[in-house]
Amino acid sequence: QQRALLWAVLLAAWESAWGQLRYSVPEEMPKGSFVGDVAKDLGLHLPALGDRGVRIVTEGRTQYFSVHGKTGHLVTAERIDREQLCRQVEKCVLRCELIVEGQMQVYRIEVEITDINDNAPSFRETEVEERMSEMTAPGSRFPLAEAHDPDSGQNSLQSYELSGDEHFSLAVQAGPGGDQRPELVLAKALDREEAAFHELVLRASDGGDPARTGTARIRVIVVDVNDNAPVFSQAEYTVRVPEDVPVGSVLVTVTATDADEGLYGHVKYSLKKVSDMASDIFHLDSATGAITLLRSLDFEEGDSYELEVQARDGGGLLDSAKVVITVTDINDNAPEISVRSALSEISEDALSGTVVALLHVQDRDSGANGEVRCSLDVDVPFRLEKSFEDYYRVVTARELDREQVPEYNVTVRAADGGSPPLQSSAVLALRVLDVNDNAPVFAQERYSARLAENNAAGALVLTVRATDADWGQNARVRYRLSEGRVRGAPLSSYFVVAAESGMITLQEALDFEDTRGYVLLVEAKDGGGLVAHCKVEVEVLDVNDNAPEI
């Protein structure tokens, strides 16, 4: 001991001579704890320390040491955690410099932070679950998670031990870096029917005095072998749904059970056989077996779907079942009226029963929802006749009269047998063509005019007017004088009627003394050759145009 002390004194003297001091202090010491007698080791006199200005300089933000001005001792300025400062370093050394400003001297100081057993070994997970098949062979090994102790040397992790039951033992392997790696060893065959799980405790200990320990609980679950296949509750599932069921609705849920446990008792569902259309419409939840609707159903598009569902456990055993989904019709389609052929115009003298339009009427629904009744507006000269299957004919029910109704907008209505019924309609536009079935009619049967004699040629006598109820050329009226003679001369030498306007004018001056009155017969003729007549009586008025004769 005396020799060791002598060497330490000689070393301190040699280091102080070269301006370097070395100390050691345990971690976690309180602030102000003694580290070393700097004044003594450097030969500095205490009264002069305050005058010379002594201070500690450390690289970094934290000042871990300071010099006591009265004693000259190097003391801790902060609590020091070796594991925080030197996490990856075996030997933890802090360096600082002592500046004696009066002497312009710099002394280097190294302080080794020695470890204390302030950390217990710990596991990242304190609850561990291992799954082993009951068919696992004895002697099988399973790596366990290692414990961690941030202390160093003897205070670090030193050993593992396992407690629990006779089925398991512990083996510890040495890692490449000298670390210890625990392994769980199956010592005795497992039997799930005897024990479904085993509770073990893995304890890690360090070499401190007293030693610190950390534990992890290990639960070994014995997994059953896959000796049971899933079984569906029904071999065939049938369900009826209306076509307006909302998207996202669960239509049916298939259920299969497996007598095994764990992975082998966990059942997943899938569609084994399904058409492309059905795969776009239905979705099977692999976990719950619920079949939901992906998009709207349409009875008219498909009224029945057949799916084959498969249940498979975690070991690959399976069972199959059939699912039949029947779609029921609702009244969601109105009747459709298609005009396959139609006249746009018809002669007014067309015979009763003349076909004016051919219609196709259908409803995509079924049953009563697809039964269609057709009708026309009342008080129209047309009727509906069933042709064959879904075809109807619109025919004339009586003779037409263009002069009363020149055109028709015939509305055809179709209603299905739903409740409430859906309806649709179509309009047939039909123009009635004229035939010359009306003769001209004069405004008056008899016209009369009084006209003074000696009027000049071209003088207006009067205007006759006739109208024709027909249309177009058949309604165009032209006028003319019927031939007649007065005093041997033709009437046309005295009067003329304008063919288009019916204006009657003089051809030459009239003479009261010659003829005192005239009766004209005027003919009105339409474009179809029908004629009418009227009488025109012209009275000639006397004027004093003759002197007395002696």
Which CATH number does the domain housing residue 536 bear? 2.60.40.60
Mark whether 209 and 269 lie in a shared domain.
Answer: no
Do residue 237 and residue 177 come from a single domain?
no
* Assigned domain for 550 exists: no
CA 170 to CA 172: how far, in whole Å?
7
Using a pLDDT cut of 90, give the percent of the chain over it: 44
Q: Is the confidence at residue 4, as pLDDT, over 50?
A: no
Task: Give pLDDT tens digits for 430-454.
Answer: 999 888 889 999 999 999 999 999 9
Residue 549 maps to a domain = no
Do 473 and 531 have their domain in common?
yes
Contact present, 393 and 384 (Cβ < 8 Å): yes
pTM here is: 0.45
- Please report whether residue 511 resides in a domain: yes
- Is residue 278 included in any domain, yes or no? yes
Q: Is residue 275 included in any domain, yes or no? A: yes
* 546 belongs to a structural domain: no
Domain count, the chain: 5
How big is the chain, counted in residues? 550
Verify that 406 and 510 share a domain, yes or no: no
Residue 521 is predicted with a pLDDT of 94
pLDDT at 7 over 50: no
Biggest alpha carbon distance in the chain?
A: 207
- Residue 245: Cβ-neighbour burial (10 angstroms; 0-12, 13-18, 19+): middle
> Which structural domain, as residue segments, surrounds residue 476?
441-541
Please, which pLDDT band fits residue 180 given cuts at 50, 70 and 90? confident
Question: Which of the listed residues 223, 253, 274 is the one where a domain comes to its end?
Answer: 223
- As given in the structure block, the two tokens for residue 317 are 């055993």
pLDDT in tens, 59-95: 778 888 888 878 888 888 888 888 788 876 778 888 8
Spell 428-456 as b/e; 16+ CB within 10 A means b.
bebebebbbebbbebeeeebebebebebe
User: Over the chain, what is the mean pLDDT?
Assistant: 87
pLDDT in tens, 85-130: 887 677 888 888 988 877 778 889 999 888 888 888 989 888 899 9
Q: Do residue 96 and residue 131 come from a single domain?
A: no
Place of tokens 């009488």: 535
Residues 153 and 86 grouped into a single domain = no
Which has the closest alpha carbon to 76: 125, 25, 18?
25
Structural domain includes residue 371: yes
Q: Are residues 246 and 207 in the same domain?
A: no
Tell me what pLDDT residue 56 has.
85
In this structure, are 178 and 244 located in the same domain? no
Q: Show the tokens assigned to 39.
A: 């004044």
Which helix (DSSP H) or strand (DSSP E) does residue 64 occupy?
none
